[in-house]
Structure 1
Amino acid sequence: MIYNKTMLGALMVMSISFGQAQNRKDGPMRIQRTKDQSVNQLTSEKSPLTAEGLWKFGRVSAEQLTADGKHLIYGVGNYDLESNSTERHLFSIPVMGGTPQQITNEKGSESVLDITAQGEIIYLFKGDLWKMASDGNNKIQITHTEGKLENVKLSPDKKHILYSQSVLITPTHGPDKYKDLPKSNAYVYDDLDFRHWDTFNDGRYAHPFVASYTDGKLGEAKDLLEGEPFYSPQAPFGGAEDFAWSPDSKAVLYVAKKRVGKEYAQSTNTDIYRHDLASGQVTNLTEGMNGYDTNPTFNSAGDRLTWLSMKKDGFEADKNDIIIIASNDSKQRVNLTAHWDGTVNSFVWSKDGKKIYFTAPVKGTVQLFELAVAKSLSAKSKPKIIQISEGEFDITGIVGEYNGGLVVSSTRLTRATEIYRYDFKNRQLTPITTVNDEAYASIAETKVEGRFTKATDGLDLFSWVVYPPDFDPTKKYPTLLYCQGGPQSAVTQSYSIRWNLQLIASQGYIVIAPNRRGMPGWGVKWNEDISGDWGGQPIRDYLSAIDDLSKESYVDSDRLGAVGASYGGYSVFMLAGVHEGRFKSFISHCGLFDMVSWYGTTEELFFANQDLGGPYWDAANEKTYNDFNPIKHIEKWNTPIFVIQGGKDYRVPIGQGLEAFQAAQLRGIKSRLLYLPDENHWVLSGHNAQVWQREFFKWLSETL
């Protein structure tokens, strides 16, 4: 067994309505409810959640706590359908409770860089630095730069800033390569890494810059990677977390994968570099560590440096550990979480430097953990790791520490992000922000339960099951199997604007979302077992989950569907060929249909090499490219299928969706294609998202 049966039993007890608080006396955490969360309200007096309503929720994100920990600065983004854009503003609220105060109202988005001891807020707005009083008054622009500043970090002594800008290093785009041909849109490449995520490589690289910062004026900027074809922050999603200042402001730390071409496309080996500003000396602090090394963070005293580290090069979903060193000794490294059977999402130091708090997936949720950091560390150190939160929610981020607890962001499957206090003494979550409470008060609740199924190999398989509003067990409901992407991303209490299980259930469907093989939160082995076995045990897990739920009298087994994106879309394509008549409808978004052509066109080859075993011409990978290849099962397809594909999806390129749709059409199967030419692996435009939702439910109404 890879998990503790006692913990599984405790999780079974947590299967309660999402309008209800976790309130077990023997449990370590409760959620304090506001009045509008009462489960005594009749759902029949409310309306089901709609796609339009989903996009009206305020998008809450934490910025920073004030130095004394008494006030929180946070942002709220609101989407406008008419303009198809989101406007975000900053607010201030007392941590211990009070009325929020809006402190910005200018058009555009602001992000907080620093809050001084006097309460002044330094923030980034339209690519420049600004400052304002704590109440939002006296706004002053303090820099006037030609190019936008991005990923800015102020030095501890406030005399320098660290930021990133894009620099042309190796011209590949026609107008850069041939100045006399400005209207050319051609690209020329001699190596791989020619495109990534949704962008072709034009020879420009994000580089870290340092400049002096005096009275709002920037001195001459120094490019710390001058002339080098490397990204820092990492492409495509790295940000300011890839930068850090040394406590004495004399050095900068940055994350970079210093590889090019084929090596870049096949490696995850990022390193953390220390650049001494006076001497220009660069030191690789993670030399010999071959996987992802990210998020360099000093403790408050500045004598300890920590970061997140994965061990294996090429494995993007490897166990993520916390590494610690004395800040001036990169050779004495200690892995603080090596002995723990889990993977870390994010972490922060306690104010006193004695503990590290971190978040990690566990048993279908994401929870808070703590570990004590000893004064003296050795390679044999095994600090005690304690899970300090428990409940039907995710802790999605740790904002900081206040007197008595932590400020965290949290979601549930039926609640968008809000910010909470976590009290160390009573282990209770109490809401600080209630941005969407009024909206949720008029929405019919959807019950969510945890369910365990015996997998085909005898192990326990956990799933979240979401029921329609006013669920009546004497009736029968169409039921959807939700197939998660990743493939090593967890199904927890996260909240999505697109794959929103509450929204799907609100249209009258039961939804089951299994924690199949490959998902973190059930031990390292469970997480790793999907690599090389995409079409094997994970697919059997999906069938076990839906077969088990179908035994319930309220499930209409003649109206089953399967839906999913990315690896979930691949799962739908696989299920279409092996489901043996179970399902009546399929929806696959950005799914992998032909593993051979996918390997030949995807961009992050390290992922394909790890999870598929390598290229299709290697005989050792025959099972992956035959038995586990959806296109090889096309002769068994006989069920209506809806295919969705983004035109700028270079992770799962356009040919995958088009091949699948064309095959279904030629086989005479009822099928539909939703093509989104300007979307990548996701759907980011609000208008496109509305089309997505309308077509999604239209298809289900036609086929189920």
Structure 2
Amino acid sequence: MNKVSVLTCAICMSLNAFAQEAREMRVDRALITNKLHHLEKDVMTPEKLWQLGRVSAEGLSADGQFLIYGLSNYSFGENKSEKNLFVVPVAGGTPVSFTDDAGGASVVEIGKDGTVIYLVNGQLWSKPLQGGEAKQLTNIEGGLENVKLSPDGKHVLFSRSVLIHPYHSVDKYADLPKSNVYIYDNLDYRHWDTFNNGRFNHPFVASYDSGTLGDPIDLLDGEPFYSPQAPFGGADDFTWSPDGKAVLYVCKKRFGKDYATTTNTDIYRYDLVSKTTTNLTEGLKGYDTHPLYSPDGQKLAWLSMKTDGYEADKNDIILFDRGSTTRVNLTDAWDGTVNSFIWSNDSRRLYFTAPTKGTVQLFAIDLSSARKTKTPEVQQISEGAFDIGDLVGETARGLVVSSTTMTRAAEIYIYDLAKRSLTPITHVNDEVFDNLAETKVEGRFTKASDGADLFSWVIYPPDFDPTKKYPTLLFCQGGPQSATTLGYSFRWNFQLMASQGYIVILPNRRGMPGWGVEWNHAISKDWGGQPIQDYLSAIDDLAKEPYVDKARIGAVGASYGGYSVFMLAGVHEGRFKTFISHCGLFDMTSWYGTTEELFFANYDLGGPYWDKQNEKTYTTFNPIKHIDKWNTPILIFQGGKDFRVPVGQGLEAFQAAQLKNVKSRLVYLPEENHWVLSGHNAQVWQREFFAWLKETL
């Protein structure tokens, strides 16, 4: 090599070195700037999480100009929340307080004249939308629940608890008022978090005149059935016919063992004149819910599942045309499942929400294309890094909806159908979130063990530096057919987890809606199979990244997610350093013998443990059968009033871990069910959760 070449090469090397140094300086400067930016901002904490206002849409004025929304604020001192109502222009503006009552207020009806009828502590009140004096309309002993006024305002529909069977000893033996004994001859002896005391919620209709109710009529005539549905049904289970001459209500008219082993709810029509009841969904075998008439009164739509016992079946929209008396499944050919729907103001379209590809989006059906033998096309009309929640109504400006992201709690928005954009109407928590350091959320695809494409959400710490290594959490979703989307949780809050310095990955494993009906169904009878492999594939793929500390990976989850944690504890082969399970299923045999909604166990597990065809469920896919491989620290949360995954599951798992000398901790919440509802208990939950991670990860 000659001197010129050597000199040229040296110059090139110097220039390259200088360029590299400049790049590194720019990177360092960017990192320093980023860190300084985050130093100026807060991060999410358990305390901040419960200080957020919780927003719920209540209704729109008849002209679509004003929104009434509910705002619940939690008091740490009183350990309870109080909900009040506010009015804000849909076009944007300053909210005005509408109620300031102790307890919780909810809108029943917003009249065309601007009169708002609302419910507080079981009594009806009225007040002008634009403000003024509130007037109490009723003062009924025991109060009213799930109230709906007839279109002409002359009748009121509501629910009330009725004693049908004296299961509780104080009802059976009047001379033993201090006894506390329950006596059963059938199943459905307990549900969710409550033992059956023989009282059933029934729909009632009464005449209504200036706050005075006539003698109520029990539409179930003293039968042992629930309407609204137990335990989470509400006013959506009721509706009036457009002419006010009939009532529609949702009910599963089954009792005892039959009630516990079926999902076959139907929609019934009660005629006020003839006092006769007709089953409108005769022959439909699964859930039939949410009946809703079109604004023009000519059509009725509802949600329907085809398969009896399969609570996570594809949810379709059924349309009944009163003129042609035809019944059409509008979404039969569409490869998805519906969350909720509303009518357009002109009765020509249906808007609905559905999970899709890790989010929940808006869809529409144009009914003008529907024919007797042809179902209309389903159109997706929103797309973005957000979830659409409640559908409130249609205005000239667009659809009023609630929306969340993984880093923003629910607010109310206008979705502009032309621009396909969201504009906020409420700004309840803006100040809090605007002062939080940004938490990056990204989508990621992995090849599953069977070659399928597996999507995950990944959340990074606010000060994420790709040159560093971070402890990482695999989140295992419950359900098991619940979607992992961009919702905002007040317990399993991924913004909060990331803000404590963890990377979190949320795989959309087999069983989750949003990736087609087949993907959604694939988990049934395969709980411990491919879905568990999906979790392993996702975490193994993420662990290849240089910023993941492979020596500090944990797995956390609740319900089926807790089951997944128990399963992973026996099959992970050293991948994880710690586990956290909340209300997880540990022994499928004892779980089948004590859980209450047996239709779920019969469909998803295949049936009882004594049936040989279900052997794999109770052996290979049973966490207790892999206890010999448990050697990793595990924290176990268990609710004392959880009847879906009864207390024995958590106690069995903790006792096994202790006897095997596995580092373990039990956090028992005696007053909580499958969830954690008390604010103080939720704070304990968070503190124990993060203390365990700090201690073991």
Same fold (TM over 0.5): yes
Q: 1:506 to 1:140 in 2, by over 3 A?
A: same
- Corresponding residue to 2:607 among 592, 614, 623: 614
In structure 2, the residue matched to 1:401 is 394
Query: Does the 8 Å contact 2:441/2:458 carry over to 1?
Result: yes
Task: Please say if 1:76 is aligned against 2:71.
Answer: yes
Q: Distance in 1 between matches of 2:374 and 2:172?
A: 54
- Map 1:266-277 onto structure 2 (within 5 A): 266-277=261-272
Unaligned runs of 5+ in 1: 1-38
Q: How far apart are the structure 1 equivalents of 2:196 and 2:110?
A: 37
Kept in 1: contact 2:44–2:436 (CA 8 A): yes
The number of residues matched between the two structures is: 664
Question: How far apart are the structure 2 equivalents of 1:575 and 1:503?
Answer: 24
Match of 1:211 in 2: 206
Structure 2 SS opposite 1:73 = strand
User: Secondary structure at 1:69's aligned position in 2?
Assistant: coil
Report if aligned partners of 1:477, 1:555 keep a CA contact under 8 Å in 2.
yes
Choose from 467, 472, 477 the match for 2:470: 477
Q: Provide the residue aligned with 1:362 in structure 2.
A: 356
2-side partners of 1:543 and 1:225: how far apart? Answer: 50
Counterpart residue number, 2:172: 177
- Say whether 1:201 aligns with 2:184: no
Distance 1:278 1:375, change over 3 A: farther
Aligned partner letter, 2:293: F
- Listed as ranges, the matches of 1:270-309 within 5 Å are 270-309=265-304
**Retained in 1: the 8 A contact 2:370–2:376?**
no
Distance 1:62 1:43 in 2: 33
Higher RCO (CA < 8 A, seq sep 6+): 1
- Alpha carbons of 1:53 and 1:376: their partners in 2 closer, same or farther (altered >3 Å)? closer
Cα distance, 1:41 vs. partner? 9.8
2:104 matched residue in structure 1: 109
TM-score by length of 2: 0.94
Pairing 1:39-438 to 2, within 5 Å after superposition:
42-327=37-322, 332-374=326-368, 377-378=371-372, 380-438=373-431
The amino acid of 1:644's aligned partner reads F
Amino acid at match of 2:392: V
Q: CA-to-partner distance for each residue in 1:358-406, whole Å, 9 max, x for gaps?
A: 000000000000011137631x322011100001110011100110310
CA distance in 2, matches of 1:202, 1:41: 60
SS in 2 for 1:374: helix
Residues 279-306 of structure 1, C-alpha deviation per residue, up to 9 Å, x if partnerless? Answer: 1111000000000000000001111000
Residue of structure 2 aligned with 1:500, choices 493, 510, 517: 493
Aligned to 1:449, what secondary structure does the other structure show?
strand
Q: 1:482 corresponds to which letter in structure 2?
A: F
Corresponding position of 1:10 = none
Is 1:651 aligned to residue 644 of structure 2?
yes
Hey, what's the Cα distance between the residues in 2 that align with 1:227 and 1:40? 66
CA distance in 2, matches of 1:509, 1:305: 49
Matched, 1:530 2:523: yes
The residue that corresponds to 2:7 in the other structure is none
Alignment check: 8 A CA contact 2:248 2:269 kept: yes
**Per-residue deviation at 1:693?**
0.1
Give the Cα–Cα distance (whole angstroms) in 2 for the partners of residues 347 and 276 of structure 1: 26
Give the drift of 1:117: 1.4
* 1:671 equivalent among 640, 643, 664: 664
SS in 1 for 2:126: strand
What is the CA-CA distance between 1:86 and the residue it aligns to? 0.5
Query: Which amino acid in the other structure matches residue 253 of structure 1?
Result: L
Deviation at 1:40, TM superposition (A): 12
**Residue aligning to 1:583:** 576
Distance of 1:226 and 1:186 partners within structure 2: 27
Higher mean Cα deviation, 174-183 or 633-642? 174-183
Q: CA deviation at 1:144?
A: 1.1
Alignment match, 1:447: 440
RMSD: 1.1
Q: Which has the higher mean CA deviation after the structures are superposed, 116-125 or 303-312?
A: 116-125
Q: Which moved more, 1:95-104 or 1:692-701?
A: 95-104
CA 1:67–1:674 in structure 2 vs 1: closer, same or farther (change >3 Å)?
Answer: same
Residue type matched to 1:648 in 2? K
* 2:362–2:388 Cα contact (<8 Å) kept: yes
Q: 2:561 aligns with which of 546, 565, 568?
A: 568
What amino acid sits opposite 1:406 in the alignment? Answer: L
Q: Tell me which of 627, 635, 638 is aligned to 1:642.
A: 635
Secondary structure at the counterpart of residue 561 of structure 1: strand
Deviation of 1:89 after TM superposition, in Å, equals 0.9
Letter in 2 for 1:377: R
Give per-residue Cα distances to partners, 1:644-665, cap 9 Å, x unaligned. 0000000000000000000000
Alignment partner of 1:682 out of 660, 664, 675:
675
User: Quick one: distance in 2 between partners of 1:528 and 1:327?
Assistant: 34
1:44 CA displacement:
2.9
Q: 1:21 matched to which residue of 2?
A: none
Report the residue type matching 1:191 in the other structure: N
Q: TM-score, with normalisation over the residues of structure 1?
A: 0.93
Distance 1:160 1:471, change over 3 A: same
Please list the CA deviations of residues 475-517 of structure 1 after superposition, one character each: whole Å capped at 9, or x if unmatched.
Answer: 0000000000000000000110000011001000000000000
Shift of 1:217: 1.1
**Partners of 1:248 and 1:452 in 2: CA distance:** 52
- Report if the CA contact (8 A) 2:328-2:375 is conserved: no
Deviation at 1:42, TM superposition (A): 2.6
Find the aligned partners of 1:439 and 1:41 in 2 and give their Cα distance: 19
Aligned partner of residue 39 in structure 2, secondary structure? helix
The equivalent of 2:24 in structure 1 is: none
Kindly state the Cα deviation for residue 256 of structure 1 after the two structures are TM-superposed.
Answer: 0.3
